[in-house]
Structure 1
Amino acid sequence: MAFDHPLNSLGLPKPPSETRVVVAMSGGVDSSVVAAELKAQGYDVVGVTLQLYDHGAALAKKGACCAGRDIHDARRVAEAMGFPHYVLDYENTFREAVIEEFADAYLAGATPVPCIRCNERVKFKDLLATARDLDADCMATGHYIQRKMGGRAELHRAADAVRDQSYFLFSTTQDQLDFLRFPLGHLGSKAETRALAAKYGLPVADKPDSQDICFVPNGNYAAVIEKLRPGAAEPGEIVDLEGNVLGQHNGVIHYTIGQRKGLGIGGLETPIYVVRLDADMKRVVVGPKEALSTRMVPLREINWLGDVDLTSKAEWHIEVKVRSTRPPRAAILRPISAHEATVELLSPEDGVSAGQACVFYQPDSSRVLGGGWVWRGY
């Protein structure tokens, strides 16, 4: 099929002026630069910002995305660059799809990653549907990840390993990937993004990056959970691997797998760590560092982005991340079904917990092959 126009910078066969792009704008420098750059290239840009939680509380929280101050900043960028901007109230959707599960996961002794669920269930689902309703040709975000064309659209790690957000986007489906664009993924550093912001005179050029989870003030998870689930912080016992009582705790929600400090247990010859959270028994199980070591990781809710079906092979030799801050490690993926599998880590990892994501990568490549959720505690 011959096109009347060459592909534009977003990979579409039409002039930028005839290409409508919805830009998901958080109010931060990354998404603002995406919107400004695309507008400067002549695209028909529409900015959309989501209000995800209480507007009044959001105004008071520093260092968060999707807060009242950030909505204001996104609007200022749109006004400065001359494109329309809309604010959509997704507060109820966000609470039901992200916050409620976050609280329940912690109560069950898991370690949830709500930013992944937000991308999966809100930004790349409802917001993407809204973009289609606005007759957009694609939706662009400020995420640091790359979309490359092979036989079809592929997901790849960002050029800047420090900024790479592939861990948080593993659940992006092929259909979503066909519609999404990530204009910052090829940049070598955040400094390049800020330089572009300065070039366009954006009011957010020097704005600090968002920190922590947007709805968790100052990283205090327990306070949020207690507010959502009154009485959640019930006291219980701290026990060793044999069940011997070593002390008392004031709620399992205050502990995470791998935690060493703040256990309130002294007089031991060797350091001890939280190795398991037994929410049903209200017990925090502790043990030596070697007890944290995990080799076999069961997964469910797998999103597979490979070129052939996951179940077409009995084993896949891949690399995986079980923490966003750790480099990919060699592993063997053994499918059970299209959505369940077991990963064998060739080098054991410490502190693997139910509720975390395990993200798949193609060896000797930047390509993301998908991932799944760790579903059983250790």
Structure 2
Amino acid sequence: MPKDAALNSLGFAKPPADTRVVVAMSGGVDSSAVAAELASEGYDVVGITLQLYDHGAALAKKGACCAGRDIHDARRVAEAMGFPHYVLDYENTFRESVIDEFADAYLAGATPVPCIRCNERVKFRDLLETARDLDADCMATGHYIRRFDGPAGPELHRAADPVRDQSYFLFSTTPEQLAYLRFPLGGLETKAETRALAAKHGLMVADKPDSQDICFVPDGNYAKVIEKLRPGAADPGEIVDMEGRVLGQHRGVIHYTIGQRRGLGIGGLADPLYVVRLDPEARRVIVGPKSALATRTVPVREINWLGDAPFTSRPEWHLSVKLRSTRPPAEAVIRPLSETEAEVDLLSPEEGVSAGQACVFYAPEGTRVFGGGWIWKGRG
């Protein structure tokens, strides 16, 4: 008999009926499918949805999560599958921990990733503690990522489906959190399998569209949200070249990102120019040639390390890193400066590296995620 034969599908040596699992339900097809499948397997499921912002304002918005329509959908799934469901009001926490930092980071010329902060500061911190308070054995989510029990403890791995992989957004999951979390969808090969799972249980969300953009940013218009949160944030200023020569006027630093080429309003020049730096204090957008975007050295801080040996146990780590969620991992040498800071040297320069983005560490071969940190200034 295999040594794990006595373990249930969530890794516990007891029947599913004696295993309580809190499922974080956003109201979308992924978390709904997880909750329904676990309930059908006989687990003691408790569904929890966090109301993160004004659900009344978001009720009619397609593709939102954690508000209005999605809360209603999560409740309907719980009713259909016969398990309890609770909605927790986290509007204030979400604003203080995620939205305010998002706005301030943009004002400082960075390009933040609020979805990572939401996982780190709300879903995998406060919600996880709520799950423990409910005496749950674990908490399950609909994220596409895998958790394996390795020789030194739980390991984080990329999802089986590279298109759906969400490891970039979950790098800050700590070892302690990882021990408590479960990701039932991480091993699925395609999103179609998830929808088929939801359809098998007769869920009305089986064909529901995936959420788009950042949940609190309607239609991807970041600048509009920031201007509402921080009046005066869109003050105009100068567009200058790398020597300080004025080339034009801009309509607010918050409308621009590192690497941007289109929409600069400075046409008629011989060669294309790109945003290479933002100077919010001087209200300046600095532009230059594409070559000026190339970055080889990236300073990283707030590192969450998921390797077996201590981060500072070696002078350098040869890993792959991802500097944006949409880019493939690139070879790099990571040199620890402390337990939470490092200098990342890219073997091949990358363009458009921006402060506020995550730098996520991966095994050069295989699927393991070794954690990551935050880029704190955009160019080396």
TM-score normalised per structure 2: 0.98
Distance across 1 between alignment mates of 2:4 and 2:62? 49
> How many Å apart are 1:377 and its aligned residue?
3.1
1:324-363 aligned within 5 A: 324-363=325-364
Q: What stretches of structure 2 of length at least 5 have no aligned partner?
A: none
Deviations 1:304-324 (A, max 9, x none): 000010000001000000011
Distance across 2 between alignment mates of 1:40 and 1:327? 37
Amino acid at match of 1:89: D
- What is the aligned partner in structure 1 of residue 175 from structure 2? 174
- What is the aligned partner in structure 2 of residue 245 from structure 1? 246
CA contact (8 A) 1:29 1:207 kept: yes
- What is the aligned partner in structure 1 of residue 73 from structure 2? 73
- What is the aligned partner in structure 2 of residue 119 from structure 1? 119
Amino acid at match of 1:147: R
What secondary structure does 1:208 align onto?
A: coil
1:194-343 aligned within 5 A: 194-343=195-344
CA contact (8 A) 1:5 1:15 kept: no
What secondary structure does 1:324 align onto?
A: coil
What secondary structure does 1:261 align onto?
A: coil
> How many Å apart are 1:248 and its aligned residue?
0.4
Q: What stretches of structure 1 of length at least 5 have no aligned partner?
A: none
What secondary structure does 1:62 align onto?
A: coil
Deviations 1:212-243 (A, max 9, x none): 00000000001100110011111110000111
> How many Å apart are 1:296 and its aligned residue?
0.3
- What is the aligned partner in structure 1 of residue 82 from structure 2? 82
Deviations 1:310-348 (A, max 9, x none): 000001000000011111110000000000001011011
What secondary structure does 1:121 align onto?
A: helix
> How many Å apart are 1:5 and its aligned residue?
8.3
Amino acid at match of 1:316: W
Distance across 1 between alignment mates of 2:198 and 2:4? 33
Distance across 2 between alignment mates of 1:155 and 1:125? 17
CA contact (8 A) 1:238 1:285 kept: yes
What secondary structure does 1:290 align onto?
A: helix
**Percent sequence identity over matched residues?**
80
What secondary structure does 1:136 align onto?
A: coil
Deviations 1:241-284 (A, max 9, x none): 11100000111000000111000001111111101001111100
- Superposition RMSD on alpha carbons, in Å? 1.1
Q: Aligned residues, how many?
A: 376
The answer on 1:375 being equivalent to 2:371 is no
Amino acid at match of 2:116: I
> How many Å apart are 1:60 and its aligned residue?
2.6
Distance across 1 between alignment mates of 2:171 and 2:28? 22
Deviations 1:162-183 (A, max 9, x none): 0000000000000000000000
> How many Å apart are 1:14 and its aligned residue?
1.1
Distance across 2 between alignment mates of 1:56 and 1:37? 30
Distance across 1 between alignment mates of 2:57 and 2:12? 41
> How many Å apart are 1:362 and its aligned residue?
1.0
- What is the aligned partner in structure 1 of residue 20 from structure 2? 20
Regions of 4+ moved over 4 Å: none
TM-score normalised per structure 1: 0.98
Amino acid at match of 1:182: F
CA contact (8 A) 2:298 2:378 kept: no
What secondary structure does 1:303 align onto?
A: strand
Distance across 2 between alignment mates of 1:258 and 1:6? 53
Deviations 1:98-144 (A, max 9, x none): 00000000000000000000000000000000000000000000000
